[in-house]
């Protein structure tokens, strides 16, 4: 485990082992679902292990991402943060990007594995909220997901994560504070520290556990549950002599035509007929600052903008 953070009751970021098979009415399902929802109600973050994504596949995925980001001419330099990325828009699209045969095979296996993990998490969330266990999976039938490969360059030694600025201390930001905007985000990192979540108005290091994936949710799922679950603001900062950092962020979004104002209710049926000014597709385009590879995460909801302002003032 990364020594800069620990999994404990104070941070409320637990490590949860997802069973390979979740049975609808089993005790194991009930217990796992409750742990997942408890974490998403408090910190909005958790760590998971899954037999679908063994350490060997995680290591191969990080290595493939590093190789692609270091050489591919289609890599995008972020307009404000010191990072670069490439967005993989669909499972089918991976084969069209002319990666090496081994890189393509690894990314396809990794993507398919995360689709299984996504379905498990969505079922756990539904059961933990006393909904039918297919409630959220029925809103994700199109597999409307994306995989972003991210690279943060190394930084010069600074002693700790802060640099002096007059009478104040400001963090060296590698990724500005933001919340995600879809349903579920599943993050794999190479272990370089720096990811922090805003928990109870304090920037808290998110633990790294070898073999585990980091999970958080987006504002759509938070809105659907009347903020019962937290779309937590998070950021990446430089820590000490920060090494180059590679991560893979898998964004699971609902089907595009679903209403962004849907409210989850205790029912066995999913009502997608709720009307809204925005569909999921339109909502995500607004929140992400664009579409496709141009997603930059520029927009906040009113509540998130307020929390971000309060965080900067602390």
| pLDDT of 181 | 86
Q: Which CATH number does 15-313 carry?
A: 2.60.120.330
Element of type H or E holding 224: helix 219-224
Element of type H or E holding 147: strand 144-152
| pLDDT of 207 | 94
Nearest to 223 by CA among 148, 274, 166: 274
Q: Which residues of the chain have pLDDT under 50?
A: 1-10, 157-168, 266-276, 293, 296, 298
Gyration radius from the chain CA atoms: 19
Domain edges within the chain:
15-313
| pLDDT of 10 | 46
**Interatomic CA distance for residues 103 and 46, integer angstroms:** 28
pLDDT, tens digit (0-9, with 9 covering 90-100), for 34-61: 999 999 999 999 999 999 999 999 999 9
| pLDDT of 147 | 96
How far are the Cα atoms of 101, 168, 256, 291, 300 from residue 307, in angstroms, in the given order?
A: 44, 20, 28, 25, 10
**Interatomic CA distance for residues 156 and 108, integer angstroms:** 35
CB 245 within 8 A of CB 175: no
| pLDDT of 12 | 80
| pLDDT of 79 | 81
| pLDDT of 1 | 41
Nearest to 153 by CA among 186, 178, 175, 185: 175
| pLDDT of 308 | 58
Q: Quick one: three-class SS letters along 11-36?
A: CCCCEEEECCCCCCCCHHHHHHHHHH
Taking each helix axis from N to C end, the angle separating 101-128 and 27-42, rounded to the nearest 10 degrees, works out to: 90
CB 179 within 8 A of CB 227: no
Residues 6+ apart with CB under 8 A from 103: 64, 67, 68
Phi (first) and psi of residue 214, to 5 degrees: -95, 135
| pLDDT of 289 | 62
| pLDDT of 304 | 57
pLDDT, tens digit (0-9, with 9 covering 90-100), for 215-224: 999 988 998 9
**Interatomic CA distance for residues 120 and 50, integer angstroms:** 10
């Amino acid at each position: 485990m990364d020594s800069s953070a620990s999994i404990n009751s104070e941070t409320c970021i637990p490590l949860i082992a997802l069973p390979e098979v979740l049975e609808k009415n089993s005790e194991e399902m009930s217990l796992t679902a409750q742990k997942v929802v408890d974490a998403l109600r408090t910190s909005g973050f958790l760590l998971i292990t899954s037999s679908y994504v063994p350490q060997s596949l995680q290591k191969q995925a990080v290595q493939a991402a590093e190789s692609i980001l270091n050489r591919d001419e289609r890599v995008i330099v972020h307009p404000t943060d010191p990072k670069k990325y490439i967005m993989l828009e669909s499972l089918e699209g991976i084969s069209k990007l002319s990666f090496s045969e081994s890189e393509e095979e690894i990314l396809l296996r990794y993507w398919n594995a995360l689709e299984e993990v996504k379905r498990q998490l969505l079922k756990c969330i539904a059961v933990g909220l006393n909904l039918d266990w297919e409630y959220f999976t029925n809103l994700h039938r199109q597999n409307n997901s994306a995989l972003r490969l991210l690279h943060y360059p190394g930084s010069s030694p600074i002693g700790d994560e802060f640099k002096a600025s007059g009478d104040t201390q400001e963090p060296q930001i590698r990724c500005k504070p933001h919340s995600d905007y879809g349903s579920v985000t599943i993050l794999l990192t190479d272990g370089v520290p720096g990811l922090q979540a805003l928990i109870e108005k304090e920037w808290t290091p998110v633990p790294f556990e070898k073999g585990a994936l980091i999970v958080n949710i987006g504002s759509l799922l938070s809105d659907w549950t009347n903020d019962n679950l937290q779309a937590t603001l998070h950021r990446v900062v430089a820590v000490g002599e920060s090494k180059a950092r590679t991560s893979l962020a898998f964004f699971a979004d609902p089907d595009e035509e679903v209403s962004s104002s849907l409210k989850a209710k205790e029912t066995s049926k999913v009502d997608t007929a709720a009307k809204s000014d925005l569909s999921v597709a339109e909502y995500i385009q607004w929140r992400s600052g664009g579409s496709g590879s141009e997603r930059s995460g520029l927009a906040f909801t009113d509540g998130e903008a307020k929390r971000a302002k309060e965080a900067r003032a602390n």
